[in-house]
Chain A
Amino acid sequence: MIVCSGLTKRYPGGYEAIKNLGFEIAGGDMVFITGHSGAGKTTLLKLLGAIERPTSGSLIVNGQNLTALRKAALPYLRRNLGLIFQDQKLLFDRSALDNVLLPLEIIGLPPREAQRRARAALDKVGLLEREKANPIALSGGEQQRLAIARAVVNRPTILLADEPTTNLDPDSARQVFDLFAAFNQVRVTVIIATHAPHDISGRKPRLITLDHGRIAP
């Protein structure tokens, strides 16, 4: 499902944030990317999410080689990915429900069907009662769960989350991880970047540990 080899990302200015990575992630896996701050976790997620383009090497996601992907094909690739950003990127000029509706408007779902699916996603993350609330009125944990609802409403095959629990209290963090575990149960590939391995609860998931852009031995 995800295969990379010789993967390298050099930012404009010359800094190499990812150096010659090679790994495979099978469909339905749950993977944590860990490492010190500045190790390249966010950069790796951005490469996987086709937000940044590899400088060299090959990276294949869902059968598409991202190194050679045409710009016009990007939107369609991203629709099969659920992205949860470090800063969440919620829209504060609309309700929680309308935030979750955006990905469905993008794929052109009929309004009624879109409403139904958005509510189902809100229900799954426990926010159905707050559908009319503006995200600004939600707690940190609720905002994170709203971001998850928006990421999964399109039923993506891969979920990518960047430090999803960094600013949450332990209870909220537990709720968020339980959600990821639930999606992973239904064969969604879940890839989480986190600098704090104690986030990892219960199960024994796979770790990819980065050190200055390389996989730590």
Chain B
Amino acid sequence: MNTWLRQHLAAFRRALRRLWAAPLNTLLSLLVIGITMTLPAAGYVFLDNLKTLGKSAAGVQQISIFMQTGASADVVKGVEQHLEDKVPGQWHFVPRETALNRLKSTEGMAEIVASLPRNPLPDAFIVEPRDASPETLEALRESFASQPGVAHVQLDSAWIKRFDAFLRLGKLAVSLLAAIFAAGLTAVTFNTIRLQVLAQADEIQVARLIGATDAFIRRPFYYSGALQGALGGLAAGLIISLGIRALATPVAELASLYGSAFALQGLSPQFFALLAGIGAGLGWLGAQLSVSMALHQME
């Protein structure tokens, strides 16, 4: 085994030993880190579930594409071709005459329509895309708005738009929350590692005097911070999983009342790994800041 690897292994073992030597402290800081990570992670999971709810929402989503009033037949053909090529799903063309006739047949409108000097209505397409997720609808709206001859594209489902806006807001809120709590987590490890460094002051002083490098002294604390962060991340995953398990049945019952088969998704192993990874990274960072400062003070 090469020396570098052995020294890292030894540092890792020393970190474990130090965590193990103060089990109550370790447990408490794991709990603090776990709870710190739970809130933003739970927010993320909640939004993720809402997104699938949006996708599976009942009702067909429509897009109306209104052409400019003077649009030529060629230009209309172009849009038709674009629909043919790019949009899986159903669509139909509503010529301006048809639209006017429909308007005429609406009660109370006949006389008003008759009094118009000419047909003010544009040609239009009504599109029902197969994939009706908010992102896809939004993308389609943009792609048709930039087509020549198109005057206006309207997403007919107002609630989907509101829902989408809500999701966006939620995402922003979760990101802000995550940033704040990341700072909090860094601060928590900063403090626990600082206490560890102070508790090891004698060993650090002796080790320096008998030939320890800076890296030898720092490494175990980095591992300790990373380890606490990773375990705290797993604790957060566990807390959220328990929450989901508790909520799953009532949510499914509620959804079935609305005729939906929506069910809360449990956490994937990848998400657990992500939480552990983020925790480890932030723990390492907190330890790095803390050790630099504590060692500086000790000199």
Contact = CB atoms under 8 A, between A and B. Distances in A.
Interface in A55-103: 72, 75-79, 83, 85, 89, 91, 93, 102-103
Contact of A83 (B207, B209, B212): B209
A75 B1 contact: no
Nearest to B8: A108
Given A105-B10, A108-B10, A83 B203 contact: no
B7 A89 contact: no
Contacts of B216: 75, 106
B3 interface: yes
Contacts of A91: 202-203, 206
Nearest to A82: B210
A83 B210 contact: yes
Contact of A107 (B208, B209, B211): B211
A123 to B, nearest CB: 20
Given A75-B213, A79-B211, A110 B6 contact: yes
A41 interface: no
Interface residues of A, number: 24
Contact of B210 (A93, A110, A111, A150): A150
B6 A89 contact: no
B146 interface: no
B208 to A, nearest CB: 8
Contacts of A76: 211
Contact of B212 (A72, A75, A111, A150): A75
Name the residue among A83, A103, A105 with the largest chain B CB count within 10 angstroms: A105
Interface in B211-246: 211-213, 216
B69 to A, nearest CB: 79
Contacts of A103: 210-211
B10 A75 contact: no
A150 B209 CA distance: 12
Nearest to A103: B210
A51 interface: yes
Contacts of A151: 210
A102 B206 CA distance: 9
A89 B209 contact: yes
Name the residue among A85, A107, A111 with the largest chain B CB count within 10 angstroms: A107
Nearest to B11: A105
Contacts of B208: 75
A111 B7 CA distance: 11
A78 B10 contact: no
26 contacts: A75-B211, A75-B212, A76-B211, A78-B209, A78-B211, A79-B210, A83-B209, A89-B202, A89-B205, A89-B209, A91-B203, A91-B206, A93-B203, A102-B203, A102-B207, A102-B210, A103-B210, A103-B211, A105-B10, A106-B207, A106-B211, A107-B211, A110-B6, A111-B10, A151-B210, A154-B210
Interface of A: 49, 51, 72, 75-79, 83, 85, 89, 91, 93, 102-103, 105-108, 110-111, 150-151, 154
Given A75-B212, A83-B210, 10 more contacts: A78-B209, A91-B202, A91-B203, A102-B206, A102-B207, A106-B213, A107-B211, A108-B3, A108-B6, A154-B211
Q: Which 5 A-B pairs have the closest CB atoms?
A: A79-B211, A78-B211, A106-B212, A75-B211, A75-B213
